[in-house]
Structure 1
């Protein structure tokens, strides 16, 4: 049994940290509150004081994943002096996250948005808000639908590249080349020129 010291006040954080470790090792199929308690070295009932059931644990992990990815996106933009540099950094941070935490990324986007609890939807909204910031100010006449389309295309493309690398279908160096090519295509497209206002 794992003997990890913790204070009562940070049990939830300890459980989520352990759950992320388990998720990387076994995927969602291996996650259970009972096994989480065993791995964290606490009583079987301890996790239920923070997660009423397994789905609540999965939702908490999804929320945490969105927040971690949002932070990675925001950090990647620091120091970027143009939209191209900013998106290059953000794209690589996005792909790094999706490769290193493939099971978490899959969990984050597994369920339909309408079925997710408010906290998960809010966390997803913060991620798309961070991507919106990278695009630059929208202005009064901005096409919100077009901006959303660009963000979704960006996310889908980067997750697709990450999936190819994570599955071993392509080498990481090929993935990096695809990121460069994809960002050039997205930014130079009619859509990209219309909605990315950052210079």
Structure 2
């Protein structure tokens, strides 16, 4: 009697799993995790779904990241690295005075948020990541440090030693984060139609908004 191999047989399962070179599986799982996050959000996020999307065994994500929280934490840490890259791209194209550099990191913040809405919400609005994780804490602190350093250069006081300067840091962060969130939610679209404007015009509008508290 000929036995037909089904998808549930061990041999078929091994055949259907993708093979990765050493060091490639982690990035592949992170890519699959981001795709899963974008399509289904955090509430239904699971290691099993990520493994299926990546084409690997169900145990592979747990082996690399421990649990779903560990995987989402690693993904959020990568998000901060991307945020920093978006800000640095804007800084490189901006004038070197402190005000222009502050506006540049604000524009980079909005760039990142609008290009990566699911990741943006995971980083800032979700309790899923472990914020005590070393990699997460390092990446998020580096991103925050860019704002702290520029505010210090602008006002001439160390925000960690001067309450008024730290208020400036928090106010700047609150403004740009709130603006990014309003754009993502579509609330600003009805008022200003940013998606219908050329990028340069959108940048000019956002710059004007961010400059308002600085100019007063």
Q: In 2, are the aligned partners of 1:113 and 1:121 still within 8 Å (CA)?
A: no
Corresponding residue number in structure 1 for 2:177:
159
Corresponding residue number in structure 1 for 2:194:
173
Corresponding residue number in structure 2 for 1:95:
110
3-state SS in 1 of match to 2:187: coil
Q: In 2, are the aligned partners of 1:158 and 1:179 still within 8 Å (CA)?
A: no
The structure-2 alpha-carbon separation of the partners of 1:40 and 1:102, relative to structure 1 and needing over 3 Å to count, comes to: same
Corresponding residue number in structure 1 for 2:37:
23
Q: TM-score, normalised by structure 1?
A: 0.79
Rg larger in structure = 2
Higher deviation after alignment, 105-114 or 151-160: 105-114
Taking the TM superposition and a 5 Å limit, the aligned residue runs for 1:32-181 are: 32-81=46-95, 82-109=97-124, 110-111=126-127, 116-135=132-151, 137=153, 142-144=158-160, 145-171=163-189, 173=194, 179-181=206-208
Q: TM-score, normalised by structure 2?
A: 0.73
The structure-2 alpha-carbon separation of the partners of 1:89 and 1:141, relative to structure 1 and needing over 3 Å to count, comes to: closer
Q: In 2, are the aligned partners of 1:22 and 1:30 still within 8 Å (CA)?
A: no
Output the aligned Cα RMSD: 3.1
The structure-2 alpha-carbon separation of the partners of 1:29 and 1:141, relative to structure 1 and needing over 3 Å to count, comes to: closer
For residues 130 and 35 of structure 2, the distance between their equivalents in structure 1, rounded to whole angstroms, comes to: 28
Q: In 1, are the aligned partners of 2:51 and 2:58 still within 8 Å (CA)?
A: yes
Per-residue deviation at 1:93?
1.5
Higher deviation after alignment, 74-83 or 64-73: 74-83
For residues 133 and 141 of structure 1, the distance between their equivalents in structure 2, rounded to whole angstroms, comes to: 10
Q: Which structure carries more relative contact order (alpha carbon 8 Å, separation 6+)?
A: 1
Task: Point out where structure 1 has 5 or more consecutive residues left out of the alignment.
Answer: 190-199
Task: Point out where structure 2 has 5 or more consecutive residues left out of the alignment.
Answer: 1-15, 196-201
Could you give the per-residue CA deviations for residues 129-168 of structure 1, whole angstroms, max 9, x where no partner exists? 1223444648985343444333332222222222222222
Could you give the per-residue CA deviations for residues 69-123 of structure 1, whole angstroms, max 9, x where no partner exists? 1122122211422233323322222112112222212221234999532322221
For residues 113 and 19 of structure 1, the distance between their equivalents in structure 2, rounded to whole angstroms, comes to: 13
For residues 89 and 5 of structure 1, the distance between their equivalents in structure 2, rounded to whole angstroms, comes to: 42
